[in-house]
Structure 1
């Protein structure tokens, strides 16, 4: 059995779709999730939910919830995993977390690393799906993308490729123990490039407007985003602005034997999320 954290979200959902074997999904509600043999209530801030989630699991998929900024809950989770006899932890972090003093993902990585459990880190680039989850309204209603990324580039990743990478690790966990992989898309793009790609796919001009981090944070909070999440988003975009975001790396292709998905193909599949006459959402 594989325990999948964040199973109702995009990363966890991609693991449910691609990893082999029975999966136990952990969600706040515990309601059934497609692709899971079992679903249990799970909350990182509620250690009482850990035992049922991890009981008789040979492996687990761990990720950072958007509001998690401290190490303690991950230490508690790893202690519970060790007690339950989990054999391998696949930890989905973010590109550059291991060297960052700012990104909260570093706390999760430290807890996993110090647990003594066999583990593998997947460090993804920025997700293409964020364009639909975070920026769809601005793209759909105002034909614009507004982020503090300057002219920086990132090798945007289709989140479905995280599930494929996780599946490859769990197929031969011993080969990947203690290793970290940068999971990226096939090319590093600026947001000018992203806007140009969406312009071609959608058939109307999409513009990129770079803003300062404080203006971005204030705008996100004004639109209902929790402050902690807005600051993390600004930090990630600042990493890109400073030229430290993920370049295109070969790790995904080496793990899976396939080329990572590209932005134009993803946007074409999910164009309904950005159409002015609809309020769809990205499907993959």
Structure 2
């Protein structure tokens, strides 16, 4: 039995990883790495066998205790942390010092061709450390529609992005969580590999807007903005500069790239097809209604 530490345990992906580790009845011990144990225990209350440890990406003093007796780490990058040298370098060093030798890092699809994004540097750091790793590279999250883009959908009835007609591959975070759990549980079979996880649909935001509008009365529209205009809109909305720049990179650069490659990794791991956009939109339908109609 090994001890697996889950960073971002209370977030969308971390919580799904934990859920699926228990769903596949792992024999390993699961430890949730959280900033506030008391709050996390109230939020993640369905797993009495789950351990908790205090952890903060921005506080290296917490690393040693969090990594004590840990064998494997599910590592993700919090959206607000972009300085890899400042935050991730000491993190990887401390993992090695504590004898951790297995990392499943949640990266992004196409990272090998995008040295500008933080995930590229983090992958390189992990490889240079000599630690065994699995790089899980997912495509575009369906859940972006119900998180970072939701305020505009509910309040402005718009999806505003500098994405133009760029095609994105859409993956459900639940599928990522399930795949991550399998990789963590069966690490040796996939170690030192970079694998992509995608859905089976490449669609642009105009096409996704049409799908959403088929399920709601108060229609929405997609507005493609140039990067500067988008920056000013989001700045007026109160979004942090770092987050705005990440959104621009995520949505503007694909306009100059080929369509995403489709991977069958999820089906290979689970025997099931990944969630379709239609299924996801149907599942989350109520969130897309106007804020004033809720």
| TM-score between the two structures when normalised by the length of structure 2 | 0.89
1:25-64 deviation digits (Å, cap 9, x = unpaired): 1222233251471222211121111122221122110011
Match of 2:74 in 1: 61
Question: How far apart are residue 219 of structure 1 and its match?
Answer: 1.6
Pairing 1:100-115 to 2, within 5 Å after superposition: 100-115=114-129
In the alignment, is the contact (CA less than 8 A) between 2:157 and 2:290 conserved in 1? Answer: no
Match of 1:28 in 2: 35
Match of 1:128 in 2: 142
In the alignment, which of 55, 60, 66 is matched to residue 42 of structure 1?
55
Change (3 A) 1:257 1:239: farther
In the alignment, is the contact (CA less than 8 A) between 2:71 and 2:99 conserved in 1? Answer: yes
Which whole-Å CA distance do the structure 2 matches of 1:74 and 1:245 have between them? 30
1:172-192 deviation digits (Å, cap 9, x = unpaired): 211211111111112111001
1:128-180 deviation digits (Å, cap 9, x = unpaired): 11111112122223322111111011111111111111112123211211111
- Residue 171 of structure 2 aligns to a residue whose secondary structure is coil
In the alignment, is the contact (CA less than 8 A) between 2:218 and 2:290 conserved in 1? Answer: no
Which whole-Å CA distance do the structure 2 matches of 1:62 and 1:86 have between them? 12
Question: How far apart are residue 221 of structure 1 and its match?
Answer: 2.1
Which whole-Å CA distance do the structure 2 matches of 1:23 and 1:38 have between them? 6
Match of 1:10 in 2: 12
Answer yes or no: is 1:145 the counterpart of 2:159.
Answer: yes
Answer yes or no: is 1:232 the counterpart of 2:246.
Answer: yes
Match of 2:173 in 1: 159
Task: Report the count of equivalent residues.
Answer: 280
Unaligned runs of 5+ in 2: none
Unaligned runs of 5+ in 1: none
Which whole-Å CA distance do the structure 2 matches of 1:81 and 1:39 have between them? 18
- CA RMSD in angstroms, aligned pairs only: 1.9
